[in-house]
Amino acid sequence: MHVTGLHCPDCHTSLTGTFNLCKFCRLSEEQQLFVEVFITSRGNIKEVERVLGISYPTVRSRLDGIIEALGCSVPGPKDKEDEVLDPAARREVLAALDRGEISAEEAIRRLRGQSLVSEG
């Protein structure tokens, strides 16, 4: 959907054209409220549960729905590959990141692309 008009109720000025909505504007009112609570709770799921009066699984489900509505993929449960990746290699990537030798993006790329067979 595209917005084709904007109107100011105070000065009665109108503007017409084709305007794209931001990703967050496309969320339902309920989803926007959830995002507001989530952000003001600093991502603390227990606080979101308390404020909205919903359970942990409901918080996770709504968060997954928002992630999908924003056009991103929802992370699934840990793949079996993740469980068998070489911990020493993972630590080395994180150490290189900590030393400033690689960027965060490079660390993510290496961690995601790491093979199941350890080098050496």
Q: What is the pLDDT of residues 30-70, one digit of tens each?
A: 999 999 999 999 999 999 999 999 999 999 999 999 999 98
52 and 91 housed in the same domain = no
Residues 29 and 72 in one domain: yes
36 found inside a domain: yes
Do residues 70 and 94 share a domain? no
Give yes or no: residues 87 and 65 share one domain: no
Q: Could you give the number of structural domains in the chain?
A: 2
For 71-117, how does the pLDDT look when each residue is reduced to its tens digit (9 = 90+)?
888 776 654 444 445 778 888 888 888 899 988 888 888 887 754 44
Whether 68 maps to a domain, the answer reads: yes
Start-end of H helices in 1-120: 29-40, 45-52, 56-69, 80-84, 87-98, 104-113
Instruction: Tell me the CA distances in angstroms from 111 to 7, 80, 103, 117, one per residue in order.
Output: 49, 15, 12, 13
Query: Quick check: 18 and 4 in contact, CB under 8 A?
Result: yes
Q: Are 34 and 61 in contact (CB under 8 A)?
A: no
Range of the domain at 52: 24-76
**pTM for this model (two decimals):** 0.53
Name the residue among 75, 110, 115 with its Cα closest to residue 95: 110
